[in-house]
Structure 1
């Protein structure tokens, strides 16, 4: 996947994320029916709203044509895994509304997340849109990280203290680690299914790698974003940190 094609695909993902996010925000103060789904062991992973599905529909209208044109697979939270991620060299990894629980509770912590991931499990582009603040984050492998389409000049100083962030969905928690650095966001390994899914971490992993922050599993290994055994991350855990010095404190 060359850089020119990645830039084209990133622009499509940005447009999809903004369209979906602006629709989400239109519904943010309305009373929304919340349903349960069979996914994970936590309340946050088990709820879904009509807005999740509406967001996915908006995104797929723009993303689906690229699957045929560029021979891409697709993995998205609110649809069954068609396993095309194991058949194609690259696949879209989409969370149409990460942080459904804070969205339903009308508080910050939700976002749209779209990534392109290689069959080997590495994100090569990531787009996150926070509809509440209209903040756009995106990154392209080897081309850098951006905030509201401007190169993100991110150089926080570690002073020995840090904030442990866990107040929203996984996507915004990761973004807040960067915004509120020094900070970290941790999901420990656990036996029960959960700990977030591939789509919760794909876009922000690219953002962290390009900006020079730390993202790994709980053992310090590169995140595998195309696990053949499960879409859940509970077996290995996840760690995001603004500074490498934090790792020795939280690990």
Structure 2
């Protein structure tokens, strides 16, 4: 994946969300998903686990029966951050989760090909980077690191949310905020673990978008098990097996390196 010749990639666009980042797809996305599905096939048959992959599950008709009726489902994003991938930039990752019918993420695995870094977690058993348990932030924080999608720049609540983020930084005794763009949702969510003061926020909106279940199932498990915060933007549990659309726009998304940051933003927004 990391060594793929991007000049030779065939790109197409799908009907998914309202941004180009959510609509672009390449043969690498498709081949990656096929390989993952093949690898999970034996376990899926043995334990009656449904499969939901971003590239093979584009309609409600595809999604509704199996994942809502079976006890578990695999939730796979074979290449999150396709836009930075085709641009030859870091910020993309592979995401695989095992989700209970209730919507609870039980296993989360995220692989970053650029840095050869594997994050994984099992509910109740902690989170790991490769074989080392994640026990604290890698870097210090002199500002509140805010990981954001490019779409945040044109969010109608941009000014309001930016003000709340700045106030949060002041409340923490930090010197303002640092906006960090360029990654897909999976990397954005995981990067809150790298700093003691960081967050990733997607505000609720009415139009389809806001990421999908495959963007957040694995990362929710990993971030929670590492001691971070993962919820919707209102502080409610992420709905990771909804009966209708797989989009997350209705509740938004909030990841934070700790509960204090999350509670402050929830109260303000």
**TM-score calculated relative to the size of structure 1:** 0.86
Displacement of 1:161 in angstroms is: 3.9
Which position in structure 2 is the counterpart of 1:67?
44
For the pair 1:228 / 2:243, whether they are aligned, the reply is: yes
Report the Cα distance in structure 1 between the residues aligned to 2:76 and 2:211, rounded to whole angstroms.
13
Equivalent position to 1:246, from 230, 249, 261: 261
Counterparts of residues 158-169 of structure 1 (less than 5 Å): 161-166=143-148, 167=181, 168-169=183-184
Q: SS of 2:40's equivalent? A: helix
Displacement of 1:156 in angstroms is: 7.4
Q: SS of 2:2's equivalent? A: helix
What CA deviation, in whole Å up to 9, does each residue of 1:121-145 have, x standing for no partner?
A: 0100000000000000000011110
CA contact (8 A) 2:141 2:196 kept: no
Counterparts of residues 19-58 of structure 1 (less than 5 Å): 24-27=1-4, 29-58=6-35
- Unaligned 5+ segments in structure 2 are 149-180
Report the Cα distance in structure 1 between the residues aligned to 2:216 and 2:27, rounded to whole angstroms.
23
CA contact (8 A) 1:128 1:137 kept: yes
Deviates more, 1:208-217 or 1:126-135: 208-217
Deviant stretches of 4+, over 6 Å: 156-160
CA 1:248 to 1:72, structure 2 compared with 1: closer, same or farther past 3 Å?
closer
Which position in structure 1 is the counterpart of 2:200?
185
Which position in structure 1 is the counterpart of 2:191?
176
Report the number of matched residues.
Answer: 228
Counterparts of residues 66-215 of structure 1 (less than 5 Å): 66-80=43-57, 81-82=62-63, 83-154=65-136, 161-166=143-148, 167=181, 168-215=183-230
- Unaligned 5+ segments in structure 1 are 1-23
